[in-house]
Structure 1
Amino acid sequence: MNVKTTVTLSDEDLRFAEELVEAGRFPSVSDVIGEGLARLRLEESGEDDPVAGMADEIRRRMELPRDQFLPWDGEVIAKRIKERLAQKRGE
């Protein structure tokens, strides 16, 4: 169920939201706000974000000396990420 409410945005925030709509990334300013709330809800819930896990893994690997870079194997990487997420969830 949707509930209509009024929010106050700074000129800068409104301009940014309107730019996202104009760029076709969102159908409306309301959807921009909704996405922001959904992301905050996910962050607050402590649930793991698989994309953030991938970003962390990439950052970790980029800190290695080049001769220690791991070969790219998408299936292996996906398996490792799934295992780490399962560990964090206590599965």
Structure 2
Amino acid sequence: MSVKSSISLTDQQDAFARSLVESGRYSSLSSVLQQGLELLRQKTEAEAVETAALREVIQRRLTGPMISAAEMEGRVAAMIERKRRTVRVDT
């Protein structure tokens, strides 16, 4: 189903849309606008999925197991020492 709608474009937007039609890339101004709205819909949906995933990761981090700063320092020091041995870096 199609719905007719009146819209306003800036001169620059109108010129761009018309150039797409004139170059044969789109059959009409309506086609240009429909494609633009479809891309915006897809982008909006993708951002919503990404935001939900980030919120889930943050929530898991907030409620997950924690280690002390001392334990983290020990783990980092051990990791650095393993890397030094691997690449034979002298301290």
Q: TM-score, normalised by structure 2?
A: 0.50
Q: Which has the higher helix share?
A: 2
**Higher RCO (C-alpha under 8 Å, 6+ residues apart):** 1
Tell me which structure has the larger Cα radius of gyration. Answer: 2
